[in-house]
Amino acid sequence: MPDPAAQSLLQLIWLASPALPVGGFSYSEGVEAAVEWAGIDSEPRAAEWLADQLHLSFARGDLAVFAQAVEAWRNKDTPRVRELNQWVLTTRESAEFFLQTEQMGRSFVEWLKLHHADTAEVFADLPASYPIAFAFAVSRTSATVHDGCLAFAFGWAENMVAAAVKAVPLGQSAGQRILGRLANEIPEAVTRAIALGDDERQAFAPLLAVLSARHETQYSRLFRS
């Protein structure tokens, strides 16, 4: 007999994998611009930058939305899903950030069509952002919201570390040390994100927004803008 716990874990690992064809690897979320304009030129500085981004930006915004969206999908609360999706789309602070969540959400939905027969119908008139599409996928598993958040956050961390390794640049061992630090801090970030109410979510990260906007015209770029 299949082991439900094992199946759930494997599904989460699959959804969070950088190999998923959604294009996350092509964005640096400000890291590449930070290398040029914010002094992210070493392993310690990159580690601090990404840890701050985890706690001050990602956990208080997209991760909190994701946690709420999983519950909304499971409760078949379409108005709530739309409300959360609109919050994501209207709080992107640069054209680049909007492009990322819109493109990754669209690509994720296309991938989901291969695995859930009703995906096309569900998203027929919902231009889903990435956190909302990911939440839909997790809602179809038996995973807890907490474990889904862990997977979502670790997938984000892997992409960000890969961006730092290329942009700083750093060696693979340095990248793994940074990823290890983020993995240690993700549980705390998840706990805080799940506890946030609608009035406590925020997407206010001025320096990150400025760097994202500057990245759009950065002279030499590895990552999409």
pLDDT per residue as tens digits for the range 43-57: 999 999 999 999 999
The pLDDT of residue 2: 67
pLDDT digits (tens, 9 = 90+) for 172-216: 999 999 999 999 999 999 999 999 999 999 999 999 999 999 998
Instruction: Give the contacts of 210 (CB within 8 A, at least 6 positions apart).
Output: none
Domains, the chain, in order of start with CATH, read 36-215 (1.10.4190.10)
Q: What is the DSSP letter of 55?
A: I
Across the chain, where does the E strand assignment appear? Answer: none
Packing angle, helices 145-167 and 172-195, rounded to 10: 150
pLDDT, position 18? 86
Maximum distance among all alpha carbons in the chain? 56
- Rounded CA-CA distance 61/55 in Å is 10
pTM across the whole model: 0.95
